[in-house]
Structure 1
């Protein structure tokens, strides 16, 4: 790739992120239903047609925003070791990575805002289909489970099925933990149970 092409690609990526940043700010301020592509363009300081050339509607834009926002959070929450370590990742290491991902998603201001104001946006990814962010999470989990199986630290079984079962369990802790926590039983106690559940699921 020439320097000119590389510079153009990087400039386009930065502009794309700027537009997503503007959309994020809109959603945080007024919620999804009151955010329009025109308002995103205004906040980004570009013409409406510039935004329309990138996204035909707000649903497409939201998909890209969620993928960027939550994909980055989950990726940084994963354990950095174990994939190439002959000793392999221990079930406790994998469980800790899942719990960190649950915590960062549960506390993410964009996620909280959408759940508070526009929870119906989340429902398709729970009831009808997987989204790109979920596919990314599953890919990360499959890789670490396979590494553990190769090293003998994780039980045998289809790594895809194991990863999907863990994600299904984690969904409730991201979305519904607050309904089960109270003054007598804080969220930390529930998270400890999730950690134990994952460790026992993965143990040889």
Structure 2
């Protein structure tokens, strides 16, 4: 009761905002800006807390470490890229799937955060590429499976286990996004090649 009265005295500093009252996007926005500038490995929890204007204790109550924040950031950026894909009425078939995958790959190649990760912290990508699927990869597979299922229902996509087909499509996409630019001088030419490859693979 006494502490409550003290905190209610006009002119006194208000109580610190509870950790769960801080919008997650505030933290993720701060982390994205830092990681895009200096990379994941050079970003610390103290840096993120300072940039987000929260205490380190508050940050640790929400995330265990920088890697967990980085995973959340990359997942959110992927979802934002997918949201800008040129879709009319959602996943409807082969044409929509191909257009979406090509769009996402093009956007990924140009995304400043992904480019910074490739330049400074490629080891962050290695576990998801070589040893296990992370949250972002699982989200990507789920989106692709949705397109494949819709396309198979209309006869626009060949028969086959949607999850198996989705895995192959995602492998193509990652290859064109990450290693494609290494082999060509004009990365934009990769778009037509990926589109043709996916069309041939998915056509009944």
Q: Secondary structure at the match of 2:160?
A: coil
Q: Tell me by how many angstroms 1:12 deviates.
A: 4.9
- Structure-2 change in CA distance of 1:102 and 1:26 (3 Å): same
Q: SS of the counterpart of 2:36?
A: helix
Contact 2:75 2:135 in 1 (8 A): yes
Q: Distance in 2 between matches of 1:188 and 1:79?
A: 21
The alignment partner of 1:165 has SS state of helix
Q: Does 1:99 align with 2:102?
A: yes
The CA RMSD measured in Å over matched residues stands at 1.8
Residue segments in structure 2 that go unaligned for 5+ positions in a row = 1-18
Residue 107 of structure 1: how far off its partner (Å): 0.9
Residue-pair matches, total? 186
> In the alignment, which residue of structure 1 is the partner of 2:150?
147
**What TM-score, normalized by structure 1, do the two folds share?**
0.84
Deviation at 1:133, TM superposition (A): 1.4
Query: How much does 1:34 deviate?
Result: 1.8
Distance 1:78 1:122, change over 3 A: farther
Whole-angstrom distance in 2 between the partners of 1:92 and 1:71: 20
TM-score, structure 2 as length reference? 0.84
1:28 is displaced (CA, Å) by 2.1
2:85 to 61, 73, 77: 77
Q: Structure 1's 82 and 74: CA in aligned 2 closer, same or farther, altered over 3 A?
A: closer
Moved over 3 A (4+): 11-14
Which residue pairs with 1:198 in the alignment? 198
Aligned to 1:165: 168
Q: How does 1:15-34 map to 2 (within 5 A)?
A: 15-34=23-42
- The whole-number CA distance in structure 2 between the counterparts of 1:66 and 1:13 is 23
Question: Conserved in 2, the CA contact under 8 Å of 1:105 and 1:174?
Answer: yes
Residues 1:112 and 2:115 are matched in the alignment: yes
Deviation of the 1:193 alpha carbon: 1.4
How much has 1:140 moved relative to structure 2? 1.1
Of 114, 132, 136, which aligns to 2:135?
132
Shift of 1:190: 2.5
Deviation, structure 1 residue 167 = 0.5
In structure 1, the partner of 2:7 is: none
| Residue 18 to residue 80, structure 1, CA distance change in 2 (3 Å) | same
- Residues 83-118 of structure 1: CA distance to partner in whole angstroms, max 9, x if unpaired? 4xxxx52x2332111100101111111111111111
Q: Using the alignment, how far apart are the partners of 2:104 and 2:159 within structure 1?
A: 24
Structure-2 residue corresponding to 1:51: 59
**CA shift for structure 1 position 13:** 7.7
